[in-house]
Amino acid sequence: MPLVGSILTALGFAADSIAIAQAVRAHVGPQEDLFSTCFRLAVHRHRTHLLRLSDATNVDDIRVDEQALERVLSEFASHSDFCDAVTSSSARRDLAKHFRLAVIIPGHSLTDRQLDDEISRIVISAFEDFITRLPVEVSSTFHARDRDNAIIAGQLSDIRSQLLDIAKVVSSRSQYLDGTQIQNESFQEHFHNPFRIVKAEELDRDSDLLARLFDEPALYRQVQGPSNLVLEGGRGCGKSTILRSLSVRAAVQLASLRGTRKLTFRETGLQYFGVYVKLPRGLFNEWSPDVKLTLDAARTLFQHSFNMMLLKFFIKELVHARDTDLITLTSQAESVASGEVAGLISPEDKAASLSELSKLIAREERSVRNYIGSLRLGDGKQRAYEGEFTSVHDFLDQAMDAFRNAVEDLRGKRVFFLLDEYENLADFQQTVVNTIAKLRPHSLSLKIAARPMGIKSRTDLNGEEIQQPRDYEVLPLDYDVNDRHYRELLLSIARKRLRTGGFGSTHLDALLAEAPPFHTATREAVDDALAAMFGDVTDERHHQFDETLIFRLATSPRRPRTYAGFHDFVALSSGIISTFLELCRVTFYLAEGEGVDVRNGSRIPWPVQNEAAYRVSKAAIDYVHRIENDGPRLTRLVRDLADIFRARLLHHSSAPEAARVTIADPEKLDDEESEVLQSLIEEGVRWTVLHSPGPVGSYLPKHLTDVRSSEFYLNRIFAPALRISHKPRWRTTFTTHQLRALVADDTRKSTLSRLVRKHRSTDEDEGDDEGGKLF
Amino acid sequence: MSDSPMEFGSVTDVLPDICDHTLVLCASPEERCLGVVDSLGGARPRRTVLLEIVDEPNSARVQNIERIVTNCGGVRQVERVRIQHKDPVFGIDALSDALEGEGGVIACDISTFPRNTLLLSLRATQRAAPDAKVTILYSEPSTYSSPTSGPLGMRGVAAVPSFAAPYQARDDLVLIVFLGYEGERALGLWQAIEPNRTIAVAPRPAYRDEMAGEAERKNSALLAALAEDDLFVVDARNPVSTYRLLKSLWTDDALARDANVFIAPLGTKPEVVGMYSFCRDHEDAATIVYAGVIDHDQTYLSRGVGRKWLLPFPERSDCG
């Protein structure tokens, strides 16, 4: 039985296997090369695990024996009953026996049975991957060779749709094919992937690496200034990395890299001493009011705890700077400052060192915690808090002043508290922080990273409004994919990573091979369609409609458009640096798995990049589903909007690429009955599921005078998985009523089908471009 | 007391004086909330305190409550404490009041407590009745049924009230996830917290042979991101095993020095008992974070009542 038949049988599709296998072999050709690719990739992805079972020290020692694999594949061709359905572990082991020699695991001590268990995982993974890639091969052949032969074309078309159904079943049950899984695998350290680090968290504490990989954005000077500042941007836009770069250890390292030797804090001439504080999700609800803790008490206790927390982080950074010789901290200065700050906590308290001061801080934290715990567990009987208490109005300013006066290196410098993930604070907690900003103390500044709409409070504890830019400057960090500076920034980031990783070529745009133009359609097909519609084929017509025509003329319904090359990746990134890096990370991972020698300058073939784009896209949608509280509803909204956009893309005659949502009556979003929709849109913007072309701001609009955005488009990274164009060229207009009905459980289905019908037939031009007419 | 679980058929096999004890349990739509009360063999606890979730009405739960009241109600009525899924603090003071000053033995059937409620209830019980001896009873499920509507949505991630350790000025945030069958929930917690390092804990041995490796399979996407050395195992039904693992991570793995530690209890209830005991004995060690599911009717509900156990309740001295 041919290879395809054996694999279909093994995966449980015996009934279809013979007809499909014979047709594929006859018209598409033997698929040994495709299988070898899948097998190599499967071994690559299992290497981490296999390394532990061997005595090899280098993951590269786990590899495919190409000759043995070739032999196995020739056995497939000569045996008619090579495979049975591998529904049991013993059947899987039987299959694995044939592949034992195709995988080199140096020095392993596995029994045959154990080895076969390991190999069977690889083989099944390769089978699953193979079957999901096969429809593309059939589609390509169908269009490239056989479209003039009606009988063969019909046969291939049937087989393609059967294979698509099978691929769908296999994809849904296979963890190996899961986008998130491959994304996570590609993070493994030993793969030496230059794009391994995507998020600031992944830098661990390596300030040296951060300094080497960091690219200053255009607004960096402003960030380093003395003002309180909100860095506002979606997930992955680089906020955390910028904040981390300001921490004293990274800032000194950055300055040292510009010169030839390691500098001290004083030698850098930095005017600030940065203290990075991540505000983790979930932790701060400990201070939130509930049935036992009143808002007033929560506010008071949080102030004290927040003071203690920031002081603690400052001390830690100071000690680290001293221990690494970045600053000079004499014992006398330490004693003076510690004593003074202890007195600020309580006049009776004394501390002669930072260590004693830290103990006082721990005592205060314990005191608050015990009090709240007692209240909640019902054994405190609602007594008042009897511990010490500090206020945000003056404590931190005075404490920082004490250190600035005592420590020579800090004299005249500001302490920057770099508060990351600010959206994790509740509104009353942000009010506490606003109070510090409002006072604009001369000893310290707040540099805050927040997601769009992540700032929930716009007043201080006295109820006074926060003013911009007096109290906070707000710097938006989201990039426009069409901005030349964004592309240059990405290339520069990539260059540093490739250089640091020891790659021969550091030009990412050269390493990412482009796909054939208009793939999966062809230039001829697009030109023919344009000529049929307009009588001529001009650049303008191409510019206007070629993307649409790719989808309408696509040869692969599952993956209608091919994404490859630097410019496609920039477009899919949606202006989010981490998405771009994620695309690169998975691409490099898959390329290595397929044996592409990128390190020595080989270009990464477009199918590899396309595979990465679809996997990352699918993972991005899965991510949305896991967003707290609103994830499932947001996912439904995204999919429903995509259905509407796809209907326009495939059928609308003048404005097909319409992935831009325009709300005709945005003022109605403030109506009571729009509450669910409004909160969903806000959540979508906060998590960068939706973008707004105009300024959104970190602040939740709460005033009638606030301008509410009336336009949104989907994050472009969803486009491949949703099979829509990533270009939001034209508008799709909805009323608030329609969107409300779309997000309501009971009206969703009927509204969706009505909207799909409406938008596939509406013949109105709602875009910025001059419209033509399509078929 | 043995540091291994003891299986029982009748409660009196392991607690012969149950008629002198106080029984605390939580009503649920799951049949196994009856596992212990159906094994009383005619004996009635001296007192029964029944936690009852009031913010998610469910007819199966109502039926089970009736049976609990019938089986346990004697001369003294079953004392009912109203709690909420959405707010785990709600009702905990009433539990404290009910148990305040209680001596003797408090037998806690943990089978169907929500995990965050279980943590708070154990803490409230030990604080309200410091002289009482707390024993843990547990009924395994006979089987699990998967939700029909695909992956479950997740509520907001939050520290379990009174289980937040002080936030230390440390560089790393380490998340220790006890794996269950809801891989999406584990991934959701992980993506929300964005730890610098993640340690996963798989149940091994699992409750039954056919469940071996199931938690790892359901969490394969999360495990793919972890270093192989960061996957640990504990005995799924022995709280002592969990306690010992946490303690060894805490002391051997330099977590205490370098990291803030978050623990996510997504595995078994006996594991939750182990992490409760560890956090009770090491107050500053770790924060327990939790995220419930949006729709409890769609969760992985257990079916039937499986084996029943008296579990060891770890003490610092037993877990050295």
My answer on whether B203 and B265 are in the same domain is yes
> In this complex, how many residue pairs, one in chain A and one in chain B, have their CB atoms less than 8 Å apart?
153
Measured between CB atoms, does B225 come within 8 Å of chain A?
A: yes
Question: How far is CA A207 from its chain centroid?
Answer: 22
Q: Do B90 and A315 touch (CB under 8 A)?
A: no
Torsion of CA A626, A632, A634, A636, to 10 degrees: 130
My answer on whether B67 and B162 are in the same domain is no
Q: Do B289 and A282 touch (CB under 8 A)?
A: yes
With beta carbons under 8 A apart, name residues in chain B contacting A377.
92-93, 96, 120, 123-124, 127-128, 162
Q: Do A312 and B87 touch (CB under 8 A)?
A: no
The conformation of residue B37, written as its DSSP 8-state character, comes to G
The conformation of residue B108, written as its DSSP 8-state character, comes to E
The conformation of residue B91, written as its DSSP 8-state character, comes to T
In a domain, B1, yes or no: no
My answer on whether A327 and A439 are in the same domain is yes
In a domain, B94, yes or no: yes
Q: What is the chain A residue with the closest CA to B294?
A: A629
DSSP of A654-694, one letter per residue? S-----EEEES-GGGGGSGGGHHHHHHHHHHHHTTSEE-SS
CA dist B17 and B28 (Å) reads 26
In a domain, B240, yes or no: yes
My answer on whether B293 and B306 are in the same domain is no
In a domain, A713, yes or no: yes
Place of tokens 């199966």: B60
Place of tokens 């519609």: A533
My answer on whether B138 and B53 are in the same domain is yes
* Residue A701 clears pLDDT 70, i.e. is over it: no
How confident is the model over A672-695, as pLDDT tens digits? 999 999 999 989 988 999 988 765
CA dist A67 and A62 (Å) reads 15
Range among A11-20, A324-333, B76-85 rated most confident: A324-333
My answer on whether B183 and B83 are in the same domain is no
Q: What is the chain A residue with the closest CA to B229?
A: A52
B157 or A762: which carries more pLDDT confidence? B157
Q: How many CA atoms lie within 13 A of A447 on its CB side?
A: 26
Give percent above pLDDT 70 in chain B: 92
Mean pLDDT for the stretch of residues A113-137? 90
* Residue A640 clears pLDDT 90, i.e. is over it: yes
Mean residue pLDDT across chain A: 88
Q: Do B166 and A189 touch (CB under 8 A)?
A: no
pLDDT score at B266: 94
Q: Which of A476, A494, A509 is the last residue of a domain?
A: A476
Q: Do A626 and B166 touch (CB under 8 A)?
A: no
* Residue A768 clears pLDDT 50, i.e. is over it: no
A775 or B280: which carries more pLDDT confidence? B280
Substitution target from B167, B216, B298 for chain A, most A beta carbons within 10 A: B167
In a domain, A483, yes or no: no
* Residue A700 clears pLDDT 60, i.e. is over it: no
Which residue among A185, A188, A378 sits closest to B92, beta carbon to beta carbon? Answer: A378
Which residue among A180, A376, A623 sits closest to B161, beta carbon to beta carbon? Answer: A376
In a domain, A525, yes or no: no
How confident is the model over B160-190, as pLDDT tens digits? 999 999 998 887 899 999 999 888 999 999 9
My answer on whether A173 and A268 are in the same domain is no
Give percent above pLDDT 70 in chain A: 92
In a domain, A522, yes or no: no
* Minimum distance, in Å, between the CA of residue B298 and any CA atom of chain A: 13
pLDDT score at A175: 83
In a domain, B152, yes or no: no
My answer on whether B295 and B306 are in the same domain is no
Structure tokens at A760: 């596939």
Q: Do A315 and B289 touch (CB under 8 A)?
A: no
How confident is the model over B103-149, as pLDDT tens digits? 999 999 999 999 999 999 999 999 999 999 999 999 998 876 665 55
Q: Which of A476, A509, A529 is the last residue of a domain?
A: A476
* Residue B297 clears pLDDT 70, i.e. is over it: no
Place of tokens 């709690």: B83
pLDDT score at A60: 84
Identity of the amino acid at A514: E
How confident is the model over A406-458, as pLDDT tens digits? 999 999 999 999 999 999 999 999 999 999 999 999 999 999 999 988 888 98
Q: Do B171 and A204 touch (CB under 8 A)?
A: yes
My answer on whether B84 and B177 are in the same domain is no
Quote the longest CA-to-CA distance of chain A: 95
Domain count across chain A: 3
pLDDT score at A441: 93
The answer to which of A148-162, A453-467, B37-51, B298-312 has the lowest mean pLDDT is A148-162
Measured between CB atoms, does B161 come within 8 Å of chain A?
A: yes
* Residue A492 clears pLDDT 80, i.e. is over it: yes
Cβ neighbours around A381 below 10 Å, total: 8
In a domain, B220, yes or no: yes
Place of tokens 């785990």: B88
* Residue A762 clears pLDDT 60, i.e. is over it: no
Measured between CB atoms, does B45 come within 8 Å of chain A?
A: no
Q: Do A316 and B170 touch (CB under 8 A)?
A: yes
Work out the pLDDT band at A769, boundaries 50, 70, 90: very low
Give the DSSP H/E element, type plus range, for residue A427.
helix A427-439
Work out the pLDDT band at A704, boundaries 50, 70, 90: very low
Q: What is the chain B residue with the closest CA to A636?
A: B153
With beta carbons under 8 A apart, name residues in chain B contacting A241.
none
In a domain, A532, yes or no: no
Q: Do A632 and B191 touch (CB under 8 A)?
A: no
Closest CA to B249 of B241, B314, B188, B168: B241
My answer on whether B280 and B195 are in the same domain is yes
**In contact, B208 and B296? CB cutoff 8 Å:** no
* Residue A597 clears pLDDT 60, i.e. is over it: yes
Measured between CB atoms, does B209 come within 8 Å of chain A?
A: no
In a domain, B97, yes or no: yes
**In contact, B93 and B64? CB cutoff 8 Å:** no
Cβ neighbours around B149 below 10 Å, total: 11
pLDDT score at A479: 86
Q: Do A283 and B92 touch (CB under 8 A)?
A: no
In a domain, A197, yes or no: no
* Residue A767 clears pLDDT 50, i.e. is over it: no
My answer on whether A158 and A270 are in the same domain is no
* Residue A140 clears pLDDT 50, i.e. is over it: yes
* Residue B299 clears pLDDT 90, i.e. is over it: no
Write b or e for each residue in A3-21: b if 16 or more Cβ atoms lie within 10 A of its Cβ, otherwise e: bbbbbbbbbebeebbeebb
My answer on whether B46 and B136 are in the same domain is yes
Mean pLDDT for the stretch of residues A164-188? 87
In a domain, A577, yes or no: no
* Residue A468 clears pLDDT 50, i.e. is over it: yes
Report how far apart, in Å, the C-alpha atoms of B172 and of each of A254, A622, A774, B61 are: 21, 26, 56, 43
In a domain, B151, yes or no: no
Mean residue pLDDT across chain B: 89
With beta carbons under 8 A apart, name residues in chain B contacting A309.
167, 169
Work out the pLDDT band at A145, boundaries 50, 70, 90: low
Place of tokens 């080895």: A115
In a domain, A737, yes or no: yes
How confident is the model over A575-586, as pLDDT tens digits? 999 999 999 999
The answer to which of A149-163, A242-256, B266-280 has the lowest mean pLDDT is A149-163
pLDDT score at A352: 95
The answer to which of A281-285, A373-377, A383-387, A473-477 has the lowest mean pLDDT is A383-387
The answer to which of A136-140, A425-429, A655-659 has the lowest mean pLDDT is A136-140
Range of the domain at B290: 158-299
CATH assignment of the domain containing B116: 3.40.50
Range of the domain at A87: 3-177
My answer on whether B104 and B184 are in the same domain is no
Q: Which of A177, A194, A217 is the last residue of a domain?
A: A177
Domain count across chain B: 2
How confident is the model over B250-268, as pLDDT tens digits? 887 777 678 899 999 999 9
Report how far apart, in Å, the C-alpha atoms of A639 and of each of A168, A178, A303 are: 17, 18, 43
With beta carbons under 8 A apart, name residues in chain B contacting A282.
156-159, 192-193, 262, 287, 289
My answer on whether A281 and A383 are in the same domain is yes
Report how far apart, in Å, the C-alpha atoms of A751 and of each of A631, A633, A762, B311 are: 21, 15, 16, 54
My answer on whether A172 and A266 are in the same domain is no
ipTM value: 0.90
The answer to which of A460-474, A513-527, B70-84, B238-252 has the lowest mean pLDDT is B70-84
* Residue A764 clears pLDDT 70, i.e. is over it: no
pLDDT score at A376: 87
pLDDT score at B301: 66
Q: What is the chain B residue with the closest CA to A275?
A: B169
Q: Do A181 and B221 touch (CB under 8 A)?
A: yes
* Minimum distance, in Å, between the CA of residue B99 and any CA atom of chain A: 11
The answer to which of A381-385, A446-450, A520-524, A557-561 has the lowest mean pLDDT is A381-385
The count of residues in chain A is 775
Measured between CB atoms, does B210 come within 8 Å of chain A?
A: no
Structure tokens at A317: 């950074």
My answer on whether A142 and A62 are in the same domain is yes
Q: Do A377 and B151 touch (CB under 8 A)?
A: no
With beta carbons under 8 A apart, name residues in chain B contacting A633.
153
Tell me whether strands A660-663 and A414-420 are parallel, antiparallel or unpaired: unpaired
With beta carbons under 8 A apart, name residues in chain B contacting A205.
171-172, 196
Which residue among B127, B184, B187 sits closest to A379, beta carbon to beta carbon? Answer: B127
Q: What is the chain A residue with the closest CA to B160?
A: A286
With beta carbons under 8 A apart, name residues in chain B contacting A281.
157, 192-194
Q: What is the chain B residue with the closest CA to A630?
A: B153
In a domain, B153, yes or no: no
Q: What is the chain B residue with the closest CA to A306?
A: B167
Q: Do B224 and A185 touch (CB under 8 A)?
A: yes
Work out the pLDDT band at B7, boundaries 50, 70, 90: very high
Q: Do B169 and A313 touch (CB under 8 A)?
A: yes
Q: Do B124 and A188 touch (CB under 8 A)?
A: no
* Residue A237 clears pLDDT 80, i.e. is over it: yes
Closest CA to A329 of A305, A353, A362: A353
My answer on whether A332 and A258 are in the same domain is yes
My answer on whether B64 and B127 are in the same domain is yes
Radius of gyration of chain A (CA): 30
My answer on whether B232 and B290 are in the same domain is yes
With beta carbons under 8 A apart, name residues in chain A contacting B219.
none
Mean pLDDT for the stretch of residues A655-674? 89
CATH assignment of the domain containing B236: 3.40.50.11700
Substitution target from A177, A275, A283, A307 for chain B, most B beta carbons within 10 A: A283
CA dist A365 and A512 (Å) reads 53
Cβ neighbours around B254 below 10 Å, total: 11
My answer on whether A161 and A288 are in the same domain is no
pLDDT score at A770: 44
Which residue among B157, B166, B294 sits closest to A632, beta carbon to beta carbon? Answer: B294
Strands, E assignment, A42-192: 63-64, 103-104
The answer to which of A334-338, A592-596, A741-745 has the lowest mean pLDDT is A592-596
* Residue A707 clears pLDDT 60, i.e. is over it: no
